[in-house]
Amino acid sequence: PGSTHAGRSIAKCQIVLLHASYPFSKEASYLASVYSQVYLDFGLAIPKLSVHGMTSSLKELLELAPIKKVMFSTDGYAFPETYYLGAKRARDVVYRVLSAACEDGDLSIQEAIEAVEDIFRRNALHLYKLNVVNGSINHETTIVADSVSLSSVEEDVLFVRIIWSDASGQYRCRVVPAGRFYEITRNKGVGLTFAAMGMTSFCDGPADGSNLTGVGEIRLVPDMPTLVRIPWSRREEMVMADMQIRPGECWEYCPRNAMRKVTKVLLDEFNVTMKAGFENEFFLRRKLVSDGVEQWVPYDNTNYCSTSAFDGASSILQEVYSSLKASGIVVEQLHAEAGKGQFEIALKYILCTLAADNLIYARETIQSIARKHGLLATFLPKPDLNDFGSGSHVHLSLWENDQNAFMGSSKDNFHGMSKTGAQFLAGVYHHLPSILAFTAPHPNSYDRIQPDTWSGAYQCWGKENREAPLRTACPPGVPLDLVSNFEIKSFDGCANPHLGLAAIVAAGIDGLRRDLKLPEPIESNPSDHASKLKRLPQNLQESVEALSADKVLHELIGDKLVTAAIAIRKAEIDHFSKNPGAFNDLIFRY
């Protein structure tokens, strides 16, 4: 009887398995799925384990266990640093795992957001019957009995910027007071006219033929995992938006959804994902007023990798770097470029969907901090026809189960690439003329893409050939007979990064589906082979014609979105051919 009574008592107890039950995380997940009183807490496993260990443990916990039974605590005993590391690493790891679940289609974005709130707050409130908790998953709000104290929100954060990039590659935002954002907008979004996705770089009205007008409205719904505090404006936050036609249903013109759609095809059909790392080239300009006329002139007159150029801009670049780091964006290198007042900031490669978001945040950061210092930063491809141009070169690689699937091996080696890598690159090579309508989408883009300027003017590829538009790369640490990634040179600051990467993925999918083959690489300046090589489109009209005829990109990206992009490109061609002086205003747009 005594043992029976004890068994009944234990059955009524709520049991929390601590520290992710490491190294028995799978077993813990099973127990939580079978026994109603068993809960899981993965505190201390984070940050004690490696990033891979933390990620794999959390994946195993969530494999079977209901999300409503998984919690996190920092377990930051003894040293204050462990509180910080626990809180920061936990958010990084949960974001990584839930993002992958969204990519795989296991969770919707809204379900992932709900999971974050459950794991970091609601599950503990429910289990421990806590009525008052200071802070929340966003650390800006005070939660009292599950209601948000709006006044306390706005004491810390005043505004939230809801950001999107349109089909012309311009970044735009709606701004919502923080109190209203956390009460209503975070879940319901804000309204936006259909016409917003048909606008050009010269007019805030929809282009003819885009099929987008002022009739009809979508919702800009915040993608909460992308929410960050704005480092240069401490009382504001910014968040990327998804475009939804109705709750939970993405609009077919949404660039972020177009990218998610093609990356899902890549994963479902070939079990690979794509990572991307962008190089941000930009010009810094300072205002000069002479005889009442305002001009924006180069910040300096130095040369490539000049130490004096970096020294002169060091305070600005330090602030940019610190702000990017605070936003979770990893910078790998910075240096002065060859143009007058030109600099480059290279970002670490990450999953391509995140890389596109980070690129937008990075440019917002660079331009805002330059403005704070009385300068103008522009990513326009060719602001001065007599100087070098700016690109947004992107390094791309394929990954399968955390292993580089683009890189070749001793048994699978085509010029350093795997068979999968070579087929993917062959698809990009084959569709490159039409891809340019997304990656070099403005008439000004083609002032930059010229022979002998390291911008990739001929349709070719080569290993470590910086004059080729497609360059396979062998960075330090990679065996010399292999390559780890490829670079696209013909990608610039007028491109919507989600659409540009979506076009590349779509082309790669076609290469994999049809087992396309690459020609032999070009191992010298393509100009030396001009009689044999095909020029890439020499103007936007030629790339638009290529895209119009490209059935693969229409199918994979979406016919309506591609049609709208083509209409916008045609409007740009017409306007700037008739108004060449209008190019001067573009430094304020890009």
Q: Read off the pLDDT of residues 57-108 as tens digits, 9 standing for 90 and up.
A: 888 888 888 888 898 887 665 667 777 777 888 888 888 889 888 877 778 7
Q: In this structure, are 120 and 164 located in the same domain?
A: no
The answer to whether the CB of 150 falls within 8 A of the CB of 175 is: no
Q: In this structure, are 489 and 391 located in the same domain?
A: yes
Q: In this structure, are 262 and 217 located in the same domain?
A: no
Average pLDDT for residues 496-511, to the nearest whole number? 98
> What is the phi/psi pair of residue 116, to 5°?
-60, -45
Q: In this structure, are 503 and 538 located in the same domain?
A: yes
- The closest of 474, 460, 449, 479 to 524, measured between CA atoms, is 460
Q: Using CA atoms, how far apart are residues 136 and 402, in angstroms rounded to an integer?
A: 32
Q: Read off the pLDDT of residues 228-273 as tens digits, 9 standing for 90 and up.
A: 999 988 789 999 999 999 888 999 999 999 999 999 999 999 999 9
Q: Read off the pLDDT of residues 182-211 as tens digits, 9 standing for 90 and up.
A: 999 999 999 999 999 999 999 999 999 999
Of 252, 268, 295, the domain-final residue: 252
Q: How many domains is the chain partitioned into structurally?
A: 3
Which H or E element spans position 487?
A: strand 485-488
| Two tokens, residue 173 | 């935002």
Of 198, 232, 252, the domain-final residue: 252
Q: Is the pLDDT of residue 145 over 60?
A: no
Burial group, residue 16, by CB count within 10 angstroms (0-12, 13-18, 19+) = middle
Q: In this structure, are 110 and 15 located in the same domain?
A: yes
The answer to whether the CB of 246 falls within 8 A of the CB of 191 is: no
The answer to whether the CB of 525 falls within 8 A of the CB of 462 is: no
Q: In this structure, are 344 and 211 located in the same domain?
A: no
Of 221, 252, 283, the domain-final residue: 252
Q: In this structure, are 556 and 466 located in the same domain?
A: yes
Q: What is the CATH number of the domain that holds 414?
A: 3.30.590.10
pLDDT band at 434 (very low <50, low <70, confident <90, very high): very high
Q: Say if 301 falls within a structural domain.
A: yes
Q: Using CA atoms, how far apart are residues 590 and 585, in angstroms rounded to an integer?
A: 10
Q: Is the pLDDT of residue 513 over 70?
A: yes
Q: What is the CATH number of the domain that holds 191?
A: 3.10.20.70
Q: Is the pLDDT of residue 7 over 60?
A: no
- The closest of 426, 492, 103, 101 to 262, measured between CA atoms, is 103
The answer to whether the CB of 282 falls within 8 A of the CB of 493 is: yes
The answer to whether the CB of 541 falls within 8 A of the CB of 576 is: no
At 79 the pLDDT is 64
Helices (H), 458-590: 497-514, 540-548, 551-557, 559-578
**Amino acid making up residue 50:** S
Q: Using CA atoms, how far apart are residues 243 and 221, in angstroms rounded to an integer?
A: 6
At 73 the pLDDT is 82
Find tokens 């490669």 and name the residue.
Answer: 349
End-to-end Cα spacing for the chain: 78
Q: In this structure, are 216 and 71 located in the same domain?
A: no
| 381 against 105, higher pLDDT | 381
CA atoms within a 13 Å half-sphere pointing along the CA-CB vector of 194: 15
| Distance from chain centroid for Cα 342 | 23
Q: In this structure, are 245 and 262 located in the same domain?
A: no
pTM for this entry? 0.76
| DSSP codes of every residue in 346-378 | EEPPEEHHHHHHHHHHHHHHHHHHHHHTTEEEE
Q: Using CA atoms, how far apart are residues 224 and 239, in angstroms rounded to an integer?
A: 7
Q: Using CA atoms, how far apart are residues 122 and 117, in angstroms rounded to an integer?
A: 6
Q: Using CA atoms, how far apart are residues 248 and 245, in angstroms rounded to an integer?
A: 8
Cis peptide, bond prior to residue 537, ω within 30 of zero: no
Q: Say if 142 falls within a structural domain.
A: no
Tally Cβ neighbours within 10 Å of residue 291. 4
What domain range is 417 assigned to? Answer: 258-588
Q: In this structure, are 233 and 262 located in the same domain?
A: no
Name the CA radius of gyration of the chain, rounded.
26
Q: Say if 56 falls within a structural domain.
A: yes
**Amino acid making up residue 400:** E
Q: Read off the pLDDT of residues 401-418 as tens digits, 9 standing for 90 and up.
A: 989 999 999 888 999 999
| 296 against 79, higher pLDDT | 296
Q: Which residues are bridge partners to 25 per DSSP?
A: none
Question: Comparing 20-34, 275-289, 541-555, which segment has the lowest mean pLDDT?
Answer: 20-34
Q: Going along 206-250, which residue ranges are E strands?
A: 217-222, 228-229, 236-246, 249-250
* Residues found in the chain: 590
Q: Say if 137 falls within a structural domain.
A: no
Tally Cβ neighbours within 10 Å of residue 199. 21
Give the chain's mean pLDDT. 89
- The closest of 564, 504, 505, 570 to 539, measured between CA atoms, is 570
Tally Cβ neighbours within 10 Å of residue 534. 10
Q: Going along 108-167, which residue ranges are E strands?
A: 132-133, 143-144, 147-148, 159-165
SS3 308: helix
The answer to whether the CB of 274 falls within 8 A of the CB of 356 is: no
Q: In this structure, are 515 and 540 located in the same domain?
A: yes
Q: In this structure, are 207 and 328 located in the same domain?
A: no
- Say if strands 236-246 and 159-165 run parallel, antiparallel, or are unpaired: parallel
| Two tokens, residue 118 | 């459950």
Q: Say if 146 falls within a structural domain.
A: no
